[in-house]
Amino acid sequence: MIIDINFIGLIIASIMASAVPLILASCGELITERSGVLNLGVEGMMIIGAISGFALMTVTGSLIIAVFGAMLAGVLISTIFAFLTQTLITNHVATGLALTIFGIGISAMIGKNFVGIPGKEFPVLFEGLKDTIPLLGPILFGHSIVFYFAFALPFITSYFLKKTKIGLIVRAVGDSPESASNQGINVRLVRYACILYGGAMSGLAGAYLSMIYTPQWIENMTGGRGWIALALVVFSTWNPIKILIGAMIFGGLTIIQFHMQAIGVRIPVQFLTALPYIVTIIVLVVISRDSRKIRLSTPSSLGKSFHKDN
Amino acid sequence: MNTNLKISNITKIYPGCVANDNVSLEFNSGKIYALLGENGAGKSTLVKILSGVIIPDEGKIYLNENNLKLNSPLDAKKNDIGMVFQHFNLFETLSVFENLIIDSDEQRESLREKIDTIMKKYNFSIDLDIPVLNLSAGQKQKVEIIRCLIRSPKVLIMDEPTSVLTEQETSELFLSLKKFSAEGILIIYITHKLKEVMELCDEVAVMRRGKLVSVSAINNENVESLATKMVGQNLKTIKKKKEKTSSDQLINIINLNFISEDPFETNLSDINFSVNRGECLGIAGISGNGQSELFQVLSGEIISDKNSIEFNKNYIGDLNPQERREYLMAFSPEDRLEQAAIPQMAIFENVALNNFKSSNFFNNGLINENKIKEHSKKIISDFNVNTDNIELKSQFLSGGNLQKLIIGRELITSPDLLICFNPTWGLDVGAINYIHETLIKINEQNKSIILISTDTDELLKLSDKISVIHKGKLSKIMNADEVTSEKLGILMGGGN
């Protein structure tokens, strides 16, 4: 059997494409969690982003409005979360779960009118270069702008946290909001900003699904990717580069198990479907088991409400 | 240039408590001022007002005749008021340099130079690129001080700075503070330790129950006069009668080791000691040197090798705290509201948590409330707990009353051994005296005590034998009357 080397390139590219929404949502949630806020509403924010993007694209016909509209929708729904948890000091876990349920419900309601409408083609970059290099050509070229952004994001996030002043403030707030507040840092403002940023990235992840990955609206189309994104953040021990690795493994196994099902490998389908989840978690646990490093990168105040009293 | 700080008619009222009652004070640079008072006297509230953390209900603050509006810590910083809090305001997982640059507007390189200059000038040596959690308490405090010095403050406020320091670190700190003062920084030093006031300060202001009691030059005062002002009454000092104790061994720790997976905890290595009946073994050390781990291993919160703890001729290393209690051990942990009692539960419910098979608190799985309440009332009256409402949630008891309740709960079953960890931490002098008397009484009844404490004076007062824990290792066990606080200080710092 002769395998076309470009075919392998195409498979790798499809793995990368399936990792995009996970990377976007995880990197957003990572910033939120680094500031000490646990937002379990990623799935809800993603699905809101998905329907908003698709609906705006259909109604306005503008891809730019649709993409930014989806991010704005993510910001708006995360503002609800931020208001509840930071201003009204509600419990992070309960509020996040409510946000997901709310997001799934409202997206289904809006989405009723958009079922069965075909999506628009999203422009890709460097299409012409695809065939210039064997193997690498299909991997590197011919993708959407969101795709390139997603693969740059873990590195940008890492740089932001380690090298910039604002990144340092985010980490400080996640480490000890009390100390930060006593240093004159506005903890609530920082946390609002991080929550809203997380919302924007989840919205973008959703828009990628409904506008680029599978350009159509299907109810519940995020299919648990928001939860995987959350798991990636924790199991990567809040390290953006490990998120990239985890997302690739997860995306890779998802694609491969489809192919295995297609060629009729005699393994129960349920096991194959579960495989990406199991392997991703095992790999991330193994690469992140240095307890000292975990201690240094875990936001100490994660999920704890901070209330400044006078 | 001279700095003049004036606070006038500061009042801060919390529900049920007047923290600061019309306090007026004036400070001038060139002198070191002590703000002296017991816990709850209102001195921490006052300095938090000065540093912008708390906003007063009434009153004004003037710095060089300018009226300051301190609505946030940022305002205090902008007005050149620096503050080193009792509980450090550091970010444990960030590096020292990151901790320092976070509230600075300077560029990395110029800040680094500035820090290096400060460290050279005052003989500090700290690695700027390691995470703060790897530093000792003394080093952490230096980081806090550097953080203030970077802004060249006019006023430097130190809130109970020596509570976590060794004797040596304390004298180093005093030297630095005297240097700062000579350079024109106005220093306000908050403490409840009288000796430090006498040693360091020029003037002393005493506070009691939110009110300013007196302001005087240190030359006109002595330890006794200050103590009387601070407490408001003459205190009888208690002394332990040192007698020959029995040679009847009660507990014997044999090659006890504990290796933790948490990088925040200290490993214990080769712990060996024994305690005889009627004896008090004191374990000194700076907090974070393995005391908490040692307490947990002794109490059974951490299970160890069965043969490493021999109690009353039984090997009990693998038993949990409940099972150890059945062998007549009793425990009073450091953290009263987190480990010793459950804050949201009533007094009598907390009493019931320490139940024995013989105490009959529970019948067939049901709570025998009458029995427990009767028992609780006995503890409250026997141990002088200042309340008659046993249904009160324990979080509303003062520290002293809660500690008396806990010690009472542990002692009412007349155990053979009481293990306590910082039993008087954060208590006022009256409560401390009561606890000390109680502990002495236990020894007189031929019962034993293991006293893990960071308070050297307390250890010297109560112990028959003393050992020092440093980085999870115990020093050799010494007779208490051969030990001085200086010697303990050296051992606590890791010397010989």
Mean pLDDT score of chain B, rounded to an integer?
87
Tell whether B257 and B203 lie within a shared domain: no
> How sure is the predictor about A310, in pLDDT bands with cuts at 50, 70 and 90?
very low
Q: Tokens 């070191």 appear where?
A: B32
In a domain, A69, yes or no: yes
Mean pLDDT along residues B228-255: 74
The per-residue pLDDT for B494 is: 78
Whether residue B82 is predicted with pLDDT greater than 60 in this model: the reply is yes
- The CA distance from A49 to A206, in Å, is 5
The per-residue pLDDT for B116 is: 94
Mean pLDDT along residues B77-95: 89
The per-residue pLDDT for B466 is: 93
List, for residues A118-157, the tens digit of each pLDDT value: 988 899 998 888 888 888 888 899 999 999 999 999 999 9
Of A80-89, B91-100, B407-416, which range is least confident? B407-416
In a domain, B236, yes or no: no
Domain count along chain B: 2
> How sure is the predictor about B274, in pLDDT bands with cuts at 50, 70 and 90?
very high
Tell whether B196 and B260 lie within a shared domain: no
CATH, residue A233 = 1.10.3470
Which range has highest mean pLDDT (A145-159, B245-259, B466-480)? A145-159
As to burial, measured by CB atoms within 10 angstroms (0-12 exposed, 13-18 middle, 19+ buried), residue B424 is buried
Query: Which residues on A lie below 8 Å from B101 (Cβ)?
Result: 165, 168
In a domain, B237, yes or no: no
Q: Which has the higher per-residue pLDDT, B370 or A39?
A: A39
Listed in sequence order, the residues at least 6 apart from A59 whose beta carbon sits closer than 8 Å to its beta carbon are none
Residue A215 sits in which domain range?
5-297
The per-residue pLDDT for B53 is: 86
> How sure is the predictor about B187, in pLDDT bands with cuts at 50, 70 and 90?
very high
Mean pLDDT along residues A209-232: 94
Nearest to A184 among B73, B92, B261 (CB): B73
Whether residue B26 is predicted with pLDDT greater than 90 in this model: the reply is yes
In a domain, A303, yes or no: no
Query: Which residues on B lie below 8 Å from A178 (Cβ)?
Result: 89
Listed in sequence order, the residues at least 6 apart from B105 whose beta carbon sits closer than 8 Å to its beta carbon are none
Query: Which residues on B lie below 8 Å from A297 (Cβ)?
Result: 93
Last residue of a domain, one of B203, B231, B259: B231
3-state SS assignment for residue B451: strand
The per-residue pLDDT for A3 is: 65
List, for residues B299-350, the tens digit of each pLDDT value: 999 988 899 999 998 999 999 988 898 899 999 998 887 788 888 888 888 8
Tell whether B310 and B400 lie within a shared domain: yes
Nearest to A172 among B54, B102, B264 (CB): B102
Tell whether B21 and B71 lie within a shared domain: yes
In a domain, A138, yes or no: yes
> How sure is the predictor about B135, in pLDDT bands with cuts at 50, 70 and 90?
confident
Q: Which has the higher per-residue pLDDT, A65 or B412?
A: A65
Determine what percent of chain B is predicted with pLDDT higher than 90. Answer: 40
Asked if B102's CB is within 8 angstroms of A168's CB, the reply is yes
Query: Which residues on A lie below 8 Å from B159 (Cβ)?
Result: none
Pick from A183, A238, A290, A308 the residue to mutate for testing the B interface (most B CBs within 10 Å): A183
The per-residue pLDDT for B242 is: 62
Tell whether B169 and B277 lie within a shared domain: no
- The CA distance from A270 to A293, in Å, is 35
Domain count along chain A: 1
Residue B328 sits in which domain range?
249-492
| CA B179 to each of CA A154, B82, B118, B156, B176: distance values in angstroms, whole numbers, following the listed order | 48, 16, 12, 12, 5
In a domain, A306, yes or no: no
The token pair that represents B58 in the structure block:
């009434």
As to burial, measured by CB atoms within 10 angstroms (0-12 exposed, 13-18 middle, 19+ buried), residue B169 is buried
One-letter identity of residue B21: D
In a domain, A308, yes or no: no
Do the Cβ atoms of A181 and A21 come closer than 8 Å? Answer: no
- The CA distance from B157 to B432, in Å, is 27
β-strand partners of B34:
B189, B204
Mean pLDDT along residues A252-266: 84
The per-residue pLDDT for A6 is: 79
Q: Does the CB of A179 have a partner CB in chain B at under 8 Å? A: yes
Whether residue B483 is predicted with pLDDT greater than 70 in this model: the reply is yes
Tell whether B273 and B203 lie within a shared domain: no
The per-residue pLDDT for A87 is: 94
The per-residue pLDDT for A257 is: 85
Of A241-245, B88-92, B97-101, which range is least confident? B88-92
The token pair that represents A91 in the structure block:
């419990």
Alpha helical stretches, state H, B79-150: 96-101, 108-121, 137-150
Nearest to A292 among B73, B88, B263 (CB): B263
CATH, residue B47 = 3.40.50.300
Of A212, A90, A236, whose CA–CA distance to A145 is shortest?
A212
List, for residues A69-125, the tens digit of each pLDDT value: 999 999 999 999 999 999 999 999 999 999 999 999 999 999 999 999 998 889 999
Mean pLDDT along residues A192-208: 98
The per-residue pLDDT for B16 is: 65
